Amino acid sequence: MLTRFFGFTRRPFSSLSEQEVLALAISSEEDDARIYLAYADHLRPDYPQSAKVFEEMADEEATHRARLIDRHKARFGDRVPLIRREHVRGYYDRKPDWLMKNLSIERIRQAAEDMESQAHDFYIAAAQRTSDADTRQLLGDLALAEKSHESLARRLGLEHTPADTRAEEDQTARRKFILTYVQPGLAGLMDGSVSTLAPIFATAFATGDTWTTFLVGLSASVGAGISMGFTEAAHDDGVISGRGSPVKRGLASGIMTTIGGLGHALPYLIPDFTIATTVAIAVVFVELWVIAWIQNHWMDTPWGRAILQVVLGGALVFAAGILIGNA
């Protein structure tokens, strides 16, 4: 039972007959065609040109399948044995298309090229498993088709996604990444880093107790992270705004909010108050610099304005915390 559960009952590739090799190739081409069509459906709204690439790749796989079926009919008749890649030990696998939908367009393109490379290796090995000249030639031709001078993904990409179209699609991908991850994460980091300054340093200077300060900082950071995460996820479902999955945005915002607050709370695990406060202040400057860098790099905010916004806001909250703590 355990061997069956862990997949040890899969057959080795070397045990397949010529008919089973052809049947495996047929089912593999069917699966790959469906995967390419799923990619095309996923990409069509935002990347119509790349969707055409995957549609033609699916057509190519369908042509391969038809040639394989014709060869099977000529050699073994109409009844094709049921054998799939998951039945063969060591055979390359395919991730379900629903797992790939969350990947970037570049990752999907790379996945397609990896699929072709794996298919090429399979047909080379399959050709060595048959003694029939016509079958061997077909499998060799398919190996060449899967991996010619350039991959099919690249060749079709040159036709459907020239440089200007590829640049436009890459810009769209960058925009979606910013709206889904960078913008909510930046808002969370700013909130966590700046809003927790006052309670943490107010507690530090009011009590002079590092452990109490750490507990206040921890609770403020986690509470702010939960609040920001739920707020981000609940206020916009992303359908109209195009900002992407609310769950992803909520996680990005909540996690970065918590990190922003914990950055200058963790130093108060140091028992010495002076050392802990010095380290916490140094961490604050690092946090503010990171926020300014993100604004400049991802949001195209000029350095001067980014630094002014972050430093001014952080300084005001930091001062408020010290004044309240010394009151």
**What's the residue count for the chain?**
327
> Two tokens at 249?
């945005």
Q: What b/e string do you get for 192-223 counting C-beta neighbours within 10 Å, with b at 16 or more?
A: bbbbbbbbbbbbbbbeeebeebbebbbebbbe
pLDDT of residue 66: 92
Name the DSSP letter for residue 12. E
Q: What b/e string do you get for 280-300 counting C-beta neighbours within 10 Å, with b at 16 or more?
A: beebbeebbebbbebbbebee
pLDDT of residue 270: 93
Distance CA 215, CA 225 (A): 15
pLDDT of residue 6: 41
Distance CA 272, CA 281 (A): 14
Backbone angles phi, psi at 149, to 5 degrees: -60, -40
pLDDT of residue 239: 56
Backbone angles phi, psi at 106, to 5 degrees: -65, -40
Name the DSSP letter for residue 240. T
Query: Could you tell me the CA-to-CA distances from 212 to 2, 216, 217, 264, 273 in Å, in that order?
Result: 52, 6, 9, 14, 11
Q: Is the dihedral of CA 252, 258, 262, 265 positive or negative?
A: positive
Burial of 162: CB neighbours in 10 Å, binned 0-12, 13-18, 19+:
exposed
Q: What is the pLDDT along the chain (327 residues), one digit of tens a residue?
A: 334 434 447 788 778 888 888 888 898 888 888 888 888 888 887 778 778 888 888 888 899 999 999 988 888 888 888 888 778 876 666 666 665 666 677 777 777 777 887 788 888 888 887 888 888 888 888 888 877 634 555 655 555 555 565 566 666 667 777 878 888 888 888 888 777 877 888 888 888 899 999 999 899 889 888 988 888 888 766 655 567 778 888 888 889 999 988 988 999 999 999 999 899 888 888 888 888 888 887 777 787 777 777 777 666 766 666 677 665
Q: What is the pTM of this model?
A: 0.51
Among 266, 296, 259, residue whose Cα is nearest residue 282: 266
Distance CA 72, CA 70 (A): 5
